[in-house]
């Protein structure tokens, strides 16, 4: 296990460095003058030169690359719109996104896993029909429809929950359920399919023959061997949440990183956009690392295969 973790960590940093290079060259691939795009065609020449110097665009490319990494690691990248270091702007938004992502994923898992397991155990029954109908609705209903519907019901009609903003738990419930219900549909289908693949395995018959209780057979043996595809889906969905569910964040005025990225694009705040994209990429890499570790913990065969 130790060697497996070291290998994964050694891959983490080169990939992050490659993403950083892509983020750096992003500003150079934009057609036209990026400084004029940020300031507008009516900007005075003094303003243009000042911003060009601030972004180091008046230097040779290799110097720009060196200063980009220097400013990045020292936290000196300045947002054009906020006039603050970009990471001071991003970190509060990232914390808000993490809060929303963990809550939505927890809701999705608590809903989807029991439904998927019961649906697989009661294949082709009325319970399986209801579960598959629920998962189909969860996959089909878009967030931009589900969010306003929940607002109309629980905020406007019943007056139980706030409409928007970030505050206590009451502000978190509606956006978390909007995302969690959508994810639970696909996750429950994957859980059902994965459980069906292992329920007829011989080792489950052996476990029953040893006198183990049925719930122990299902949870300790069947579910653990069915976890690999389920963990894959959870990792992908969680990575998407960390990249910013900007539609849901916009509907509920949730101050997350996805909404910040969209605002940075519209305001042409390139340093903020670069830092946001880099933070999102680092989040994806971190989630992939955690999923690989979860693979190894769930199934020793994965760890042994990766260590060859």
Angle between helices 126-140 and 169-198 (to 10 degrees): 130
Distances (CA, A) of 220 to 192, 207, 216: 16, 10, 5
Q: Which residue spans within the chain are E strands per DSSP?
A: none
Confidence of residue 298 (pLDDT cuts 50, 70, 90): low
pLDDT (tens digit per residue) in 200-248:
777 777 777 777 787 888 877 788 778 878 888 888 788 777 765 778 8
Distances (CA, A) of 165 to 95, 108, 142, 155, 161: 14, 22, 21, 13, 11
Q: For residue 114, give the nearest of 206, 27, 184 by alpha carbon.
A: 184
Return d(Cα 96, Cα 254) in angstroms, integer: 8
**Model pLDDT, residue 305:** 45
pLDDT (tens digit per residue) in 107-129:
999 998 899 888 888 888 888 88
Asked if residue 283 has pLDDT above 80, the reply is: yes
pTM for the full predicted model: 0.80
Return d(Cα 228, Cα 112) in angstroms, integer: 15
Confidence of residue 262 (pLDDT cuts 50, 70, 90): confident
**Model pLDDT, residue 107:** 92
Q: For residue 193, give the nearest of 136, 139, 138, 123 by alpha carbon.
A: 123
Return d(Cα 218, Cα 181) in angstroms, integer: 25
**Model pLDDT, residue 212:** 78
**More reliable by pLDDT, 154 or 58:** 154
The average confidence (pLDDT) of the chain is: 81
Q: Which of 6-20, 99-113, 169-183 has the lowest mean pLDDT?
A: 6-20
Q: For residue 185, give the nearest of 155, 147, 143, 225 by alpha carbon.
A: 143
Domains by residue range for the chain, with CATH: 2-74 (no CATH), 95-306 (1.10.3720.10)
Contact 275, 75 (CB under 8 A): no
Confidence of residue 304 (pLDDT cuts 50, 70, 90): very low
**Model pLDDT, residue 299:** 63
Look at residue 122 and give its three-state secondary structure.
Answer: coil
């Amino acid at each position: 296990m130790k060697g497996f973790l070291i290998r994964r960590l050694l891959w983490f940093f080169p990939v992050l460095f490659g993403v950083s290079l892509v983020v750096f060259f992003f500003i150079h691939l934009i057609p036209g003058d990026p400084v004029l795009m940020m300031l507008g065609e009516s900007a005075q020449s003094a303003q243009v030169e000042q911003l060009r110097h601030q972004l180091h665009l008046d230097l040779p490319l290799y110097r720009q690359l060196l200063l980009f990494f220097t400013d990045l690691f020292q936290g000196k990248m300045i947002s054009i719109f906020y006039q603050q270091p970009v990471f001071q702007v991003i970190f509060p938004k990232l914390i808000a996104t993490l809060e929303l992502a963990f809550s939505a994923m927890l809701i999705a898992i608590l809903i989807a896993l029991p439904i998927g397991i019961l649906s697989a155990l009661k294949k082709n029954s009325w319970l399986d029909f209801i579960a598959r109908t629920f998962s189909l609705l969860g996959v089909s209903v878009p967030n931009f429809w589900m969010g306003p519907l929940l607002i109309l019901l629980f905020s406007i009609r019943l007056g139980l929950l706030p409409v928007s903003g970030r505050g206590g738990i009451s502000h978190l419930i509606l956006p978390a359920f909007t995302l969690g219900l959508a994810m639970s549909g696909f996750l429950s289908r994957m859980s059902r399919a994965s459980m069906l693949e292992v329920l007829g395995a011989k080792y489950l018959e052996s476990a029953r023959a040893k006198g183990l209780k049925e719930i122990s057979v299902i949870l300790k043996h069947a579910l653990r061997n069915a976890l690999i595809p389920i963990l894959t889906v959870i990792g992908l969905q969680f990575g998407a949440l960390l990249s910013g569910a900007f539609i849901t964040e916009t509907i509920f005025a949730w101050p997350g990183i996805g909404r910040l990225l969209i605002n940075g694009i519209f305001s042409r705040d390139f340093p903020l956009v670069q830092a946001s994209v880099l933070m999102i990429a680092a989040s994806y890499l971190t989630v992939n690392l955690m999923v690989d570790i979860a693979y190894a913990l769930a199934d020793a065969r994965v760890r042994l295969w990766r260590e060859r």
